[in-house]
Chain A
Amino acid sequence: MSDQNPFPGENNTGHYWDGNLRELLNPIPKWWMIGFWISIAIFIGYTIWYPSWPLINTHFKGVAGWTAMNEYKEDMAKIEAIRAPYEESINKMSAAQILADDQLANYTVRSAKVLFGDKCAACHGTGGAGNPGYPVLADDDWLYGGTIEKIQETITIGRQGMMPAHGSRLSDQQISDLTKHVVALGQGSEDAAGKAVFMSAGCFACHGMDAKGNQMMGSANLTDGIYRFAPGGADSVKYTIAHGVNDASDAKSRNAVMPVFGKMLDENDIKKLAVYVYKLGGGQ
């Protein structure tokens, strides 16, 4: 190295070795350096404006007071503001009135979808498709009635099915005759022997003379081929006749309970759910 530059005017740093090996000076472009310093200035401004540096027990909050949670709340408030007029109408109107208003019914179905998923779909399946032991809600076969008021009532006060076990009251022959009759009813015909048992054992008291059920007491319509208890068919029917539904005296009795949602959900949510279920495909 020498202080005397043997290659003057060559744009070198003045450092040279071994006579001719030297370091050329090619500085970074000025515009690039300007950009570099601007970036640093932005970085400093950013860390002052926004939460940034870790401190001992907390962190620097930033002068703007921005937090992700506040931003979330602001966004939620915006969404709530959009929903507010609809929610207000739902609050004021009955479920039947909501149904009559196309736009509001549309909103209700959309907003109740999440609610249905949280509260109902565990038993009734997504979209009310039903599950073994839990009724399909998308069809028009209703145990307790498919009007909007009845659906709302069912959600609010819950339901408990009731059918006595007949295993100890009827002979095996009677039960199999009755089974044949019930299966035949679903296919649009009858079984004479079974029909006799149907009358003598008092089945008609709940299921009706025409076996179409009674929505006042929640007894099933036996003539439509839609089975309350899966998988349907002779074995399933026979089991239900023998062990009944919710009969405490028979340990093998079928279980059919719809919980009371009146205490778990507020009235608006129940209205929304009623409209949603009504709109699934079987509302009457």
Chain B
Amino acid sequence: MTGGIVNNLVNSAQSENIDDLYEEASHWHVNTGDETIHAKRLAGRFRTYKWLGHALYLLFFLGPYLRWEDSQAILYDIPGRKFHFFDLTILPQDVWILSLILMFFAILMVVVTAIVGRLWCGYFCFQTAWTDVFTWIEGKIEGDPAKRRKLDDAAWSSEKIRKRGIKHTLWLLISVLTGISFTAWFTDAYQLWSDLFTLDAAFMSWVTIGTFTAGTYVLAGFMREQVCLWLCPYARIQGVFYDRDTELPTYDFNRGEPRGKLRKGENTEGKGDCVACNQCVAVCPTGIDIRAGQQEGCITCGLCIDACDMVMDKVGKSRGLVRYASLDEIQGIDVPPVYKRPRIIASSALIMIAVFGIIYGLTHLGSLELKVLHERQPLFVQQSDGTIQNKYYFKMLNKTDKEMQVKITVDESINGLTMIGADKTIAVGSGDLRSHTIFVKVPNGFISAPRLPVIFHLSDASDPDTMVTYESMFFGPKH
């Protein structure tokens, strides 16, 4: 049995001429960045969508300057371990909400990718956006792709130095602005600018700005599509999110093949619609040929669709030779509607769980948090007046931005229960975790079981509505 398979493999290998394999290998083009891709720019539908997607990053640049009640509206204060979002202040204790937000975006990405492919990569990813802006600048200064290639090969001249100088200056300017904008989310934006001009900024600010400047300059200026091809993990795991019903920029090979150049007066009978103009390759920012089928280099930005539609209009054929379509659709198999696909249903359900969790979390942030730790050594102590005493460590967290006077109370769930150490209100500073020790005594005779529930309350002395409750245990001897 095994021998048979091996023989078959050997036979099939032998039956193919070795030169055919070499012929095939010569077409494999592994893009390792040795050649700079100078993509052509064409106007079009997807070009517009792409700009709209990139425009979201204006929020990244402008967001830090929003103010809210005399402080930055959105501020990720790492040294203070607080996240300010307009009226909300989120402390590390509520960071589980963040994990739900991350879960929300992670699954959203799975769902979106399963429906329309790498929407993120093509229109929203910062790598795509910054590269797009950088190459746009390059095009404005150095001209169209042919001129750019020529300039790449040209010897250094005053002209080349001038063009390159302007280009790199602009790139660096954007990179520095990116670095400063990123840093401004973590420290007061206006203060940061003034500190930068007086050279007083914190060491971490300089390091962050430097890192992000260098990162932006290198990744968007030089690495470009290499990041998508060789560095980005999401680019590589996308394959498992796709299925046969995923809508992707696809070349309709049934309609297009066999392709051939259009020559005047030639009979086009028996030929496909593809006129082999290679415009889809020329515009591709990652330098792939979409006609070779879906591949890992495709960021599904749709620019090849724009290019092909433009050509089809020119040659008088209908648009859509390259279009958003699924594999099944191209092959003429029925595609189920989105809401009937099990993967979409399951992922959407998970998304809803995350959404409800986030809403619950944000509406139940509370202003006080209480944890009560029962002393375990000793669990209980007999006092000379015949009572049994338990010791509790209170951990009280004030999540508001003002100092709070808090009051500890206890339910008289056990007869004769008295609490020691809670007669005064306790001051808890803003954002502070204050610890406090409380003793609870119960006469031995009233202890009906080795463990009894005891319920503590903590409230803001000036606002009893803020009460939080913690149920702990009261330990006593066995009778």
Contacts and interface: CB of A to CB of B under 8 A. Distances in A.
Interface in B430-453: 435, 437, 439
A120 interface: no
B32 A29 contact: yes
Nearest to B387: A140
A126 B376 CA distance: 10
B25 interface: yes
A281 to B, nearest CB: 6
A248 B114 CA distance: 89
Given A20-B19, A29-B32, A29-B34, A127 B384 contact: no
B18 interface: yes
B18 A31 contact: no
A106 interface: yes
Interface string A213-252: 0000000010011100000000000000000000000000
Contacts of A138: 378, 381, 389, 391
A281 B33 contact: no
B463 to A, nearest CB: 23
B382 interface: yes
Interface residues of A, number: 29
A125 interface: yes
B33 A224 contact: no
Given A129-B377, A141-B383, A282-B381, A30 B34 contact: yes
A43 B435 CA distance: 47
B25 A136 contact: no
B435 A139 contact: no
B384 A31 contact: no
Nearest to A223: B384
Contacts of B226: 29, 31
Instruction: Tell which of A20, A136, A281 has the most Cβ of chain B within 10 Å.
Output: A281
Interface string B353-385: 000000000000000000000011110011111
Contacts of B32: 28-32
A281 B391 contact: yes
Contacts of A140: 383-385
Contacts of A126: 377
B143 interface: no
Interface in A111-155: 125-130, 136, 138-141
A225 B382 contact: yes
B14 to A, nearest CB: 14
A141 B384 CA distance: 6
B34 A136 contact: no
A40 interface: no
Instruction: Tell which of B33, B226, B377 has the most Cβ of chain A within 10 Å.
Output: B377
A282 B377 contact: no
A57 interface: no
A24 interface: yes
A272 B352 CA distance: 55
A10 interface: yes
B386 A281 contact: no
Given A24-B25, A30-B33, A138-B391, A224 B377 contact: no
Nearest to B444: A225
Contacts of A130: 378
Q: How many interface residues does chain B have, given as a range?
A: 20 to 34
B377 A127 contact: yes
A225 B386 contact: yes
A114 to B, nearest CB: 15
Contacts of A173: none
B378 A127 contact: yes
Contact of A136 (B376, B381, B435): B381
Contacts of B33: 29-31
B281 to A, nearest CB: 20
B58 interface: no
B378 A226 contact: no
B106 to A, nearest CB: 29
B425 to A, nearest CB: 12
A123 B30 CA distance: 74
A20 B384 contact: no
Contact of B381 (A10, A29, A139): A139
A10 B25 CA distance: 10
B223 interface: yes
B135 to A, nearest CB: 18
A279 interface: yes
A200 interface: no
B198 interface: no
A10 B384 contact: no
A70 interface: no
Instruction: Tell which of B22, B26, B230, B384 has the most Cβ of chain A within 10 Å.
Output: B384
A26 interface: yes
B439 A281 contact: yes
Given A30-B34, A31-B226, A281-B391, A127 B375 contact: yes
Instruction: Tell which of A10, A31, A226 has the most Cβ of chain B within 10 Å.
Output: A31
A29 B18 CA distance: 28
A284 B381 CA distance: 16
Given A30-B33, A279-B437, A281-B439, A139 B389 contact: yes
Contacts of A106: 435
Interface string B241-269: 00000000000000000000000000000
Interface in A74-133: 106, 125-130
B222 to A, nearest CB: 8
A280 B421 CA distance: 13
Interface in B26-51: 26, 30, 32-34
Given A10-B22, A29-B32, A140-B383, 7 more contacts: A20-B19, A26-B30, A29-B230, A30-B32, A125-B377, A129-B378, A130-B378
10 contacts: A20-B18, A29-B226, A30-B34, A136-B381, A138-B389, A139-B382, A140-B383, A140-B384, A279-B437, A281-B389
Question: What are the 8 A-B residue pairs with the smallest beta carbon separation, nearest first?
Answer: A29-B32, A129-B378, A224-B384, A127-B377, A139-B381, A141-B384, A138-B381, A126-B377
